Amino acid sequence: MYEIFEELLKKHNVTAYRVAKETGITTATFTSWKQGKYTPKQDKLQKIADYFGVTVDYLMGNSDNDIPKENLYHTLTKKDEKDIAKKLEAMMNDLDSDSSLSFMGEPMDEEDRELLRISLENTLRMSREMAKKKFTPKKYRK
């Protein structure tokens, strides 16, 4: 079980000391856990899991799925990513084709166009995630 904790430390490039400081769990707890003398109680396991954004089941080696159930149904799929890319491309093409974008009569430069593209992409992502959250069946909600 401690091996998964060590993998998470490497993956997130943090030390056990830092996790201890940020979660309020003593380093002695981690040392005892590593030595196999002690398994942290449920509340401490939950703090560790929350810190890394994984489930307690994953942390304990009982599940291969490290995505918490409440987030599983709100993450974007590859299809969602493709749809967002298509919509973004269409929006940017529409802006290019009609007339040059301008602000107070001045044409928009490339930097401003890129900022607009990033803003539109973020808006599309957020709206897709919000729709997924809103329309997720109740039995899958937290």
Instruction: Give 92-109 pLDDT, tens digit per residue.
Output: 887 766 556 666 677 777
Q: Is the pLDDT of residue 111 over 60?
A: yes
Claim to verify: residue 39 and residue 6 sit in the same structural domain: yes
Q: What range defines the domain where residue 12 resides? A: 2-67
> What is the pLDDT, as a whole number, of residue 136?
64
Q: Tell me if the pTM is above 0.85.
A: no
Quote the CA–CA distance of 60 and 47 in Å, as a whole number: 13
Nearest to 75 by CA among 140, 139, 11, 133: 133
Tokens 């401490």, residue?
Answer: 44
Claim to verify: residue 89 and residue 128 sit in the same structural domain: yes
Among 67, 94, 109, residue at a domain's last position: 67
Q: Is the pLDDT of residue 52 over 70?
A: yes
- The answer to whether 32 and 26 have CB atoms below 8 angstroms apart is no
Among 45, 67, 89, residue at a domain's last position: 67
Among 44, 67, 90, residue at a domain's last position: 67
Claim to verify: residue 16 and residue 40 sit in the same structural domain: yes
Q: Find the mean pLDDT for residues 43-69.
A: 77
Task: List the structure tokens of 52.
Answer: 């890394």
Percent with pLDDT over 70 in the chain: 80
